[in-house]
Amino acid sequence: MLTSVAKEHGTFGPKGTVIRFPLTHEDLEFLTGAHRVSITRAMKALKKNGQNHL
């Protein structure tokens, strides 16, 4: 889902694609159908792997 949002609304920067508007856990739950705990785990995994520049 993040890839789709990034392709449609993102801009490319020095650290990769940047989504220039906030996506809350609630937004991501709605978009993916996943539970909040799953969203949190996924975001932590992305950050750990260097794929999330907060």
Domain boundaries in the chain? 22-54
CA distance 44 to 52: 9
Does the pTM exceed 0.85? no
8-26 pLDDT, tens per residue?
999 988 878 888 888 899 9
What average pLDDT score do residues 26-47 get? 91
Amino acid 1: pLDDT: 83
CA distance 25 to 36: 6
Whether 43 has a pLDDT exceeding 60, the answer reads yes
| CA of residue 44 relative to chain centroid, distance | 10
Q: Pairing relation of β-strands 11-13 and 16-18?
A: antiparallel
Amino acid 17: pLDDT: 86
Whether 52 has a pLDDT exceeding 70, the answer reads no
